[in-house]
Structure 1
């Protein structure tokens, strides 16, 4: 309790209605499975098709990560000082 002013109920924090939290998980899971496949194919098969598959499977998560970091860095900050 505050002795100086009566308690004023605080409004609830704003809820982001753009996406449910379940919609966030498919991409990280897919990238994790693709990385696992790439590592296993590089470990188990070292010639021909397996080599190409391992390079492709390990390159895709790297490309996605670089694209997301680049997009986050290139955003201009909003007027309030945070990210838009």
Structure 2
């Protein structure tokens, strides 16, 4: 029974009719692991390929952050106008 119509019970919601959650966590986890790799390679490998790998691994999350911020600033907000 429900409040709106006491004589009719609410229909049961099946698991197949529910919306699937959006997978949000893979990208932040990947960027976190890339940052961890970049920090460890900068600390443990001081020369050669490790130095280049640390620069690349630490630059990618920075570039992704800047691109996402620029996209968010250019997109109008739901309230109207630029965000």
* Common fold by TM > 0.5: yes
The runs of at least 4 consecutive aligned structure 1 residues that moved more than 3 Å come to: none
- Asked if 1:20 is matched to 2:38, the reply is no
Gaps of at least 5 residues in structure 1 are 1-7, 9-16
Gaps of at least 5 residues in structure 2 are 5-18
Alignment root-mean-square deviation, CA: 2.4
Deviation of the 1:59 alpha carbon: 0.3
The TM-score with structure 2 as length reference comes to 0.69
Deviations 1:50-84 (A, max 9, x none): 00000000000000000000000011235x5378x
SS in 1 for 2:80: coil
Tell me the distance in 2 between the aligned counterparts of 1:62 and 1:77: 24
Larger helix proportion of the pair: 1
